Chains A and B, each alone.
Chain A
């Protein structure tokens, strides 16, 4: 007879940044009988996930599950919408490409097997896959989130949110307080070992001993708890990921854009995230680029410079300590992969939430999947540095995992080999490779080219694009109205 496992009685989350607080909300909601305490403030700016002003569409679903309302993020946390990311200059001067979200194919093709049958093929007709509704809308500056549960001409358009990290964190704190998540400020001055690899308690400067069943390490790159474990090991990605310094720019002028931009420059990559508090620019440079050259390319004054040694922990879950986000993996904040990884790891933890007694095999399974997630991010990032132009800026780097095979299959066959737990869907990877300047090859099944089918598909797309444009309001004006309405006095 199977019995329910004894539930966790107390969980301590170390690190009070946006990752730690959302984690606390999530575990508290999942186990209402369990005391949840957050310890410490927000990690420093080197914790990219904790300061990310944006996420991926996955986060929207996680927010829904955890009761974080999108409308609150928009009206109270400086929120805005991104439909596309434009990659500029990765495939040579003047080259650009767009990555939108989601698989825009017929849902019937979404099973693993159907992916093998069709998947990205419909797009592999030679031209880069620019024909997404998201791009049409972003370029026309028209969008408003489609009403849920109601079919509209833009319901298939997936989007990501941006926000002001401090305001978003304040919003999360409010929710955490409403859920009676505890909070203690202070410095950890002792880690008291328990049985095996477990931690029995931590000592908090001036506040005594805090015991818990499970410790979640959201403390950022220093991984306060995990790194103190005997079994802690770090897998260095320096051989494959060349960025060593990340320059964080002062915010520029506010900008109501539906697109963000990632540009390859002579001094490194530049990421520009639009938003209501201003354009957030960052530059990631290899070791040989001087501070002066980097700042000149950033074009705005830097508010911080972060040194980066990319890599992941070998085992994110050791004993009763689980590292999430930058405590588990650190890498270029090139796109919102840092926060996206943290949120997917959190989702995995919710799925596999243990009881008070942890089975070594569930730890192993969590570590396997969390490891696949981190390796998937590693591979996606490495694609950026594999283009000829990126190699001129960043130098030649070895390609990790299956990256070489993916580029080979893409360029010869327009095919994206499936890998588990990747941050991007097959079609998003296809779009990214094309945006980075690789020319997709043609799948054998499309070689004979059925002009009629292609013309019909184009016509169908054109019609849905026109319907989407007619339906979606001008984005800037819509956003302004939405914000005004939220400030209207009640009654």
Chain B
């Protein structure tokens, strides 16, 4: 099966893989079929979607296949078939859009009951996050726009009803023409809350997922390093390279999140920009999501591995470390793409020197991959 698949895939080999943009890199799809683990979707020529698969042997380059051809070369699980057909209908490919589809599929039980329950919890948490963020935006608006001379208590100590009234008064006061009535501004704030759901506010008072993911990456990498220090030379090298990859990613993520959150320093200006040029706001906000896309699965691989299976997990993690596209260098202040390329090159060389793990039956990998769906819902 493995050699048959390699023969089929070889027709789709793409020797050089240096995406310029995140969209060109594609969005990670949480497949459960073992051969599809780490697969990404991206818009190809004339926006026909393509499937990007890493070379399973660890060689440089990727396989780029027509998305429509997926079931022809590898029988996907029920879960993956559902994701495959539903993602195909997305108008806009973003990490969040794919995550939404994947959660819906998982919530229907395609990856088992545990993943279904986790998807429902995650969906509920997202909804709660948006409400909480919206409220914090109102608090922030009051802090930024309300005169201290009014002698009102700090908004965080006031009731939610009062906070909304005070926010509306602030919006009314800031309004200098008839262009943006307070009700429209409040609606805009709701949309902004939805856009900032991932990044959250500075200091992350709402527990937004991306800053938490950064912490998770740091924690996992620390554990990987500890494991590597106690292991063989090869394990130490792998841990070091994974640590480097995480460090480059986290450096960029810190910049991306700070830039996104900085927009919230002047809520009134942000509301205006949201009304006139939402794409520029979204472009800043979505950087973090794109940058960290795929890392949730990498962390889950480590978390799901038993103590005796760390080396195997590290091998799989090494294969999934996402490339950083060149566009990141334009805003993060250093050659992140180049640094990540060097690290990924090291990981590729390392993977070729260690024996591939082969004693897992396909059924067990699928079970584990479904566990990843529950852990990274």
Do A and B originate from a single complex?
no
Q: B residues within 8 Å of A by Cβ?
A: none
